[in-house]
Structure 1
Amino acid sequence: MSIDPSSIPSFGMPSGGNQGGGKPAGPPPVIVPDQALVTQLLDQMQLKHVVDEEGDLTAPWEGFRVYFMFRGDHKELFAVRAFYDRPYPLERKGEILDLVDEWNRETLWPKVYTHTHEDGVVRLIGESQMIVGAGVNLDYFVTTTANWTQASVGFEQWMVERLGLQDEIENEEGEDGEPSDEA
């Protein structure tokens, strides 16, 4: 399944400015975001989402999941964390680290790192964070969250391209995008 990051609406575009002709309405309010606001944003983006057993909001894609989490004693830290399901053997960790370093040098978010499981399988995790406990501009929060989500999707596509996995993925799917029975 191919994911088009441009299909996720960008809330960072200017809204057309002042339409009343008078004074600008002023800056958007400063809010302390919560899970209800993020749920509203995901609904506006038309993204499927669920709340997991730990109470974190999760948007699943084929091959990875994006979590929207509030952490800290007073939920003052907001994080968007992507867990990528593709396993890499330990022998390829050096190659994967080189690619992750390239991504981290050339992009702002998500910052991606490896996690090596006890069985020697290497997986990737992407993460972006902001402190929200003292409040944050509503437009900034919405735009940043949407962009972090879009970038998490973009990283998956970037890895597929960099590793030349597109043919392998297409062979695993049938004509209609469903998994092939020929495995």
Structure 2
Amino acid sequence: MSTRRVEASLKNHGYAYVEDTDHPEVLRARFDDYRFQFMLTGEAGSVLQARGRWNRSVSAARKPEMLKLCNEWNMSRVWPKVYVRRESEGLLGLYGEVTSDFSSGGSDQQIDRAIECGLRTVIAFFRELEERLGSEVDELDA
């Protein structure tokens, strides 16, 4: 597993990305106006993680509601793992991530599928958030 193989998969799909100069194991991209990063973690750098951040911020006062939405998602689906993270004193970010372990190796097709799974499932979570919140989405901090 290597960052070059992840780059090759992104290129093969026609996805634009940028390298993170401070973190060479991280590639950053935008899909449907959501920020994503693809990174290799684990002892041998063989674990691929696709992580997306919802394009809205939420008041910390709404944390119980956001936790409930995330828990409902996590209880009924395998992917992605979703969570709430405090980003500043008064604001929360919502995230989704899919992690794939390639410590035993993996084909280019498996890497492609891991990336596609991460993108599709995380974006599906974000869209469900927007649907469930309805017109309230426009009142959130962008």
Structure ID, larger Rg = 1
**CA deviation after TM superposition for structure 1 residue 148, in Å:** 1.4
Q: Secondary structure at the match of 2:49?
A: strand
Number of the residue aligned with 1:49: 17
**Separation in 1 of the partners of 2:12 and 2:121?**
17
Structure 2, unaligned stretches of length 5 or more?
A: none
**Separation in 1 of the partners of 2:87 and 2:107?**
39
Q: Is the 8 A contact 1:66 1:152 kept in 2?
A: no
Q: Is the 8 A contact 2:37 2:52 kept in 1?
A: yes
Query: Is the counterpart of residue 106 in structure 1 residue 76 in structure 2?
Result: yes
Query: Is the counterpart of residue 91 in structure 1 residue 61 in structure 2?
Result: yes
- What TM-score comes out, normalization by structure 1 length? 0.66
Q: Secondary structure at the match of 2:16?
A: coil
Equivalent AA in structure 2 for residue 67 of structure 1: Q
**CA deviation after TM superposition for structure 1 residue 80, in Å:** 1.0
Q: Is the 8 A contact 1:63 1:86 kept in 2?
A: no
Q: How many residues align?
A: 138
User: What is the RMSD computed on CA atoms of the aligned residues?
Assistant: 2.3
**CA deviation after TM superposition for structure 1 residue 87, in Å:** 1.0
**CA deviation after TM superposition for structure 1 residue 166, in Å:** 8.4
Q: Secondary structure at the match of 1:86?
A: strand
Q: Which runs of 4+ in 1 moved over 6 A?
A: none
**CA deviation after TM superposition for structure 1 residue 51, in Å:** 0.8
Number of the residue aligned with 2:45: 75
Q: Is the 8 A contact 2:98 2:117 kept in 1?
A: no
Number of the residue aligned with 1:168: 138
> Any residues of structure 2 matched to 1:116-131 within 5 Å, and which?
116-131=86-101
Number of the residue aligned with 1:13: none
Equivalent AA in structure 2 for residue 152 of structure 1: V
**Separation in 2 of the partners of 1:153 and 1:80?**
11
**Separation in 2 of the partners of 1:42 and 1:153?**
17
Q: Is the 8 A contact 2:6 2:111 kept in 1?
A: no
**Separation in 2 of the partners of 1:166 and 1:40?**
39
Identify, as 1 or 2, the structure richer in helix: 2
Identify, as 1 or 2, the structure richer in strand: 2
Query: Is the counterpart of residue 40 in structure 1 residue 20 in structure 2?
Result: no
Number of the residue aligned with 1:58: 28
- What TM-score comes out, normalization by structure 2 length? 0.83
